[in-house]
Structure 1
Amino acid sequence: MNRIYKNTSVLLLLMIAAASLTGCKKDKKTEEPGFTCSTCKDVPDAKAEYNSNSKGIYKGIVVGSTGTLFIDIMNSGTVMKATMVLDGITVNFTTVSVWTSGQPLVTDFTATANSQVYSFRFSVDAVGGNATTSSLTIPGHTIISFQLIKETSDNLVKCYEGSTVGKKDSGAAQAGSLNVVISSKTNTWTALSKDKLSTSGGINFVAGTITGNTLNCNCGPTTTVTGVLDNDEIIGTYKGSDNSGTWNAKRTL
C-alpha cells in the first residue's frame, strides 16, 4: 500500500508541474506582435543601376493634412511620374520634362483630381542628392510641406503617418500630425509636424538617428523627441519649450 501512495504522490507532482509549464507557455503566447503594414515593401523599389544618378525612386511624407509621396524617375520605365496619397485620396502626377544624363533635374509635376489641379516642382542634383520640392499647389492646403529621401537598391526608405496628443504648459490641449521618413541604411530619420489646434502655427522639421529600435532626436536644447520601433509602428514622447505629450505613427509606405 505504501508503494501505491508514493507512486500516486509522484504522479500528482508531475501533473502539477506539467500544468504549470503549460500555463507559462500560454502566457507567453498572449503577447501580440506590433502593427504590420500589409501593403508596404520589405525590399527597395529602386534599381541598382540608378543608385548614383537622378533616376530612381524618391519616397517621402506630406504634412499640411497627412500623406505620402512616391516619385519614380524612370525607374520602372521611360517616364517620370509621382503618386501622392493625401488624407486617403490618391493623386497621380505626370510631367513632360526630359531627363538628361549628368545634369541636375528640375521638373514640374501636374495632376487633376476631383476637377482640381495639383502641381509641384521637383529638383535633384545629377547624382540623386539634395532632392527638394517647391511651388506646391495643393487645393485646400495653404500650408503644406513634403520631405523626401532618395531610395537606393541597398537602402529601403520607410514612411510613417502619425499624430501627437499632449498639453501646453498653460494647460491647453495640444494635438497634431507627425509624419516620419526613415533611411534604413544610414539609421537616420526626419519628420514633419503640425499643430492641428493652432490657426497660426507652421510646419516643424525634426531629425535624428536610430540606435537599435530607438529613435533619438537632434532637436536642440529646448526640444526632445524619442520613439521606439515595434514592427511597422513607432510609439514615443515629445517635449517642447512650452508643451509635452505622446506620439504614435504607423508605416503606410
Structure 2
Amino acid sequence: MCPPAHFRVTYSINPWMDPSKPVDLPLALAQWEDLRDRYLSLGHTVEVLEPRPDLPDMVYAANGATVVGGRVLGARFAHAERAPEASAHREWFRAHGFTDVREPEHVNEGEGDFAVTDSWLLAGRGFRSSPLSHPEAQEFFGRPVIGLDLVDPRYYHLDTALAVLGGDQVMYYPGAFSPGSRAVLARLFPDALVAGEEDALALGLNAVSDGHHVLLPQAAVGLFGPLRERGYEPVGLDLSELLKGGGSVKCCTLEIRPD
C-alpha cells in the first residue's frame, strides 16, 4: 500500500476524475489509514511504499505490479502522468529481496487488469492494458491467461468490474464486459456472484478478499447479503475521497503472493 500523502486530482484519465472537485487530503489519508488498520486487525501484513510528491496516483498501489509465486511482473502505464510509478514499484521489490522482477514490454497496469484465481490469470483489455500483455504474462507466470474485453469506460480496469473471492470464486458486473466475455465468465464461473449496476457504480467490485473477509466499499449495500449467504464476511469501508480518482479498496491494495 502507498499512503495518499500527495493525492490530488489535477488531470483526468478516467471518467471518475474531475479536477473541478477538490480532494479533502486529511480525509483521504484517514480513510486510507482505516483500510490499512482493517488489514492489520485481520492479521495481514501491510508493506508500505513511500509516496512521491510528483506522483499523486501512487495511492492506487494495485497498478504497480502483479506478483504470483514470488515472481514480479512490473507495470507499464498507458498514460504519461503515471509512467514513473512503474520504476518506483520495481525498485521496491528489488530492495525487498525479490529477485525475479520483470520490466514488461507491453502496457499492463498490474492488478488493475490482472486478477489471480487458483486456475487462471484473468486479464482485462479495452481501455488500458494492451492485449499483447496477456501472452507476455502467460509466458512469465506459466499460468493460463483468460482475456476479457471491457466495454464501459467507467470500468476502465478489470478490478473495477470483477473481484476474486478465493479459489476460483469471483463476483462481477456483466454490464462492464463484451457479450463474448460475459459468455466466457458464465462458462468459467457458473456460480459467480453477479452484481447489479448500482453496486458496480459504487465500485463494489473493487474489493479484496482473504477467502473469508471481503473488504469493499460500504455503499455497495446490495452485495453484503449475497456475500454472507455464501459464507463470506463483508467488511464495509468508506473510501469516498479516493473514489474521486477512480479507485477504492482493491486499487489501494497490491497483493503480494509469495513463492
**Normalised by the size of structure 2, how large is the TM-score?**
0.29
* Structure (1/2) with the larger strand percentage: 1
- Greater relative contact order, per chain length (Cα 8 Å cut-off, separation 6+): 2
**Normalised by the size of structure 1, how large is the TM-score?**
0.30
Compare CA radii of gyration and give the structure with the larger one: 1
* Structure (1/2) with the larger helix percentage: 2
